[in-house]
Each structure stands twice: as structure tokens, then as C-alpha cells.
Amino acid sequence: MPQATLDAWISLYAAVGLLVAMCATIAVIKTVHDYRSGSRTLATTSVMDKVLAAPRVWVRWQFNYLLGAPAILMIATLYAHHLGFATLVDV
């Protein structure tokens, strides 16, 4: 594998990792905002509601995270285009 191809792949993986970290952080902020603003509420009246509180918050975070997936895919594709698709393929 040529060094340019290896460098392009490392750069692409680092960029996608940064995008994923940003998306996860923004999803945490949005999830906290949803519960603090009152647009989402957690029922804590019964023991089962209290047991299921953490999974419900996790599912809400997952939903907020997945809302950012199209943006990650588009930015990663544009970055790969910027690097040059031919550079990413060992020709």
C-alpha cells in the first residue's frame, strides 16, 4: 500500500472519529435539554419506572445520536471526495 493511501485512510478515520465524538457530545446536550426543558419526562412513580429510567434515557440519547448520522455520512463523503477517491484506492 502506498504511503499516500495509508495517510488518506488514517486522515479519513481520524475525521470520522472526530465527527462521531462531536455528534455524541451534542446528543448528550440535547438529551439533557429535552429532560430539563420538560419536553420529555421520566415517570418515577413505581419501582419498575425507576428501574427503566436509565434505559429510557439511553434510548432517547440513541435517537438523538442517530439524528446526526446523515450529517456525519455527508461530511465524511465530502471529505473523502476532497482527499480524492482514487487516493483511497490502491491503484
Percent with pLDDT over 70 in the chain: 98
pLDDT at 91: 59
* Torsion angle, alpha carbons of 40, 46, 52, 57, to 10: 20
Which amino acid does the sequence have at 69? Answer: A
pLDDT at 5: 87
Distance CA 12, CA 5 (A): 11
Domain extents in the chain = 3-84
Distance CA 6, CA 16 (A): 15
Mean pLDDT of 29-36: 94
Mean pLDDT of 21-45: 91
Distance CA 77, CA 67 (A): 17
Residue 88 scores a pLDDT above 70: yes
pTM of the predicted model as reported, rounded to 2 decimal places = 0.78
Which amino acid does the sequence have at 53? Answer: A
Mean pLDDT of 33-60: 90
Percent with pLDDT over 90 in the chain: 56
pLDDT at 35: 93
Which amino acid does the sequence have at 76? Answer: A
